[in-house]
Amino acid sequence: MGVKRFDVGSWLDSPLSRRRLDLSQFAKERADVAEICARVAADGDAALREYGERFDGWAPRESETFEIPKGDLVVAANRLPSADRAALEFAAQRIRDFHLKQVPPATSRSPGLKLVTRPVRRAGVYAPGGRASYPSTVLMTAIPARVAGVSEVILATPPRADGSVPAAILAAAYIAGVDAVYRVGGAQAIAALAYGTNTIPRVDVVAGPGNIYVTLAKKEVFGAVGVDGIAGPTEVMVIADAGARADFVAADLAAQLEHDPLAWAVLVTDSPALADRVEEELRSLIGGLERAQIINAATCCLIVAEDMEQAINLANDFAPEHLLIVAENAGWLATQVENAGAVFVGAYATVPLGDYAAGPNHTLPTFGAARFASPLGVYSFLKHSSVLSLNRGDLEMLRDACLRLAAMEGLSAHAHAIEVRLE
């Protein structure tokens, strides 16, 4: 694989250090997605059938539906190997427990003012297919919505060519409390959730990861519906000192790279010797992995910093999706992190634990978005309204400042609406 080596100076000079999500390079895909979304908005199920045949190799007949019978979710959960179901239920409980900590008070008050927090009424979650199926994503998207109090949670996921959906996906949907599962994938699924069709209800928020077409579709429909974020390929940054085990570090780099040929893995260390050992371990490890071809196509960078403080500064600038810190003073270094989607501290806090069952959400901001964005959470499915209750005394107290501001902005009708109440 093409591992790229840098010192700090050459890293900062490299465009790789300044990577940000740039969708302008996908002009053709953007045009295709815009057409797909417009067709689904106009033609609904007929467009979904056409795109299902074209992209997934399956679409329901006129007499059939995209929805999987709800009883099939129960059957899938009951037929799943007991160890697999136990793993899903264990992960679901930990995810639920973590996200319960995010639930805010329903109402906060100050004199004359209430801030009311309510869940959206209906949420749509998306679980990708293709290279693999991701029951963990079903748990990570649906459970926070349920914890938030969303009344209806529906799942869209691509079908196989025979119209079936992996049993693990259906079982996860059952365990997470999903109300309905629809066999539709890609940009057309996002459009269907955003606009609604005769058979798929329109949602208020769409959440969940996907390929470039899903990402572009979320960008296209934003405004008609809320979205959890616009994500790029997955990434990990590892900060490690000379005492870190090279095989541990290499394993975490490879684990992230196997997701996608566009994935990133970056090691920052103050030890040139560790960088050498990690590169050796990585090359040795990849040869025995099933997804070696994907890993070899992805981006892997090794950076030698002067010290751990400089390494943390590089991480804060890079704002990685996943940040793993393996160092003697890892706990203190973690307190210096300002920008990261999820932080993993210590040699045994491997990132895949967070992907599955540790509890925090694995749907995270990527490509530098951790500078301003947060992981998917309960708050992704909540909205806030202010409720203002004022009497005449309050109006008199606010009068002068509001009239002055109305005059500054030239909005005389605003001023009149205030003054008429005091005549």
List, for residues 412-423, the tens digit of each pLDDT value.
999 999 999 998
- Tell how far CA 409 is from the center of its chain: 41
* 84 token code pair: 């697999």
**In the chain, what is the straight-line distance between the N-terminal and C-terminal CA atoms, in Å?**
79
pLDDT reported for residue 234: 92
CA–CA separation, 298 and 266 (whole Å): 11
pLDDT reported for residue 193: 98
Q: Return the SS3 of 409.
A: helix
Q: Are 340 and 323 in contact (CB under 8 A)?
A: yes
Q: Taking the domain 3-21+232-358, which CATH number applies?
A: 3.40.50.1980
pLDDT reported for residue 129: 84
> Which residues have a catalytic role annotated?
321-322
pLDDT reported for residue 112: 83
Which single residue is written with the structure tokens 């008429």? 420
Q: Return the SS3 of 3.
A: strand
Which CATH number applies to 27-227: 3.40.1010.10, 3.40.50.300, 3.30.1360.40, 3.40.50.1980? Answer: 3.40.50.1980
Residues β-bridged to residue 5: 302
User: 140-156, pLDDT tens digit by residue?
Assistant: 999 999 999 999 999 99
Question: Does the pLDDT of residue 130 top 80, yes or no?
Answer: no
User: What kind and span of H or E run contains 152?
Assistant: strand 152-157
Give one DSSP letter per residue of 176-233, joined into a string.
Answer: HT-SEEEE--HHHHHHHHHH--SSS---SEEE----HHHHHHHHHHBTTBEES----S
- For residue 384, give the amino acid letter: H
CA–CA separation, 362 and 373 (whole Å): 14
Please indicate, yes or no, whether the overall pTM of this predicted structure exceeds 0.85: yes
Kind of pairing between the strands at 322-326 and 342-345: parallel
Q: Are 240 and 326 in contact (CB under 8 A)?
A: yes
Identify the DSSP state of 52.
Answer: I
The rounded percent of the chain whose pLDDT value lies above 70 is 99
Q: Return the SS3 of 17.
A: helix
- Every domain of the chain with CATH number 3.40.50.1980 lies at 3-21+232-358, 27-227
Identify the DSSP state of 116.
Answer: E
User: 344-373, pLDDT tens digit by residue?
Assistant: 999 999 999 999 999 999 999 999 999 999
- Residue 128 pLDDT level (bands cut at 50, 70, 90): very high
CA–CA separation, 394 and 415 (whole Å): 16
- Residue 131 pLDDT level (bands cut at 50, 70, 90): low
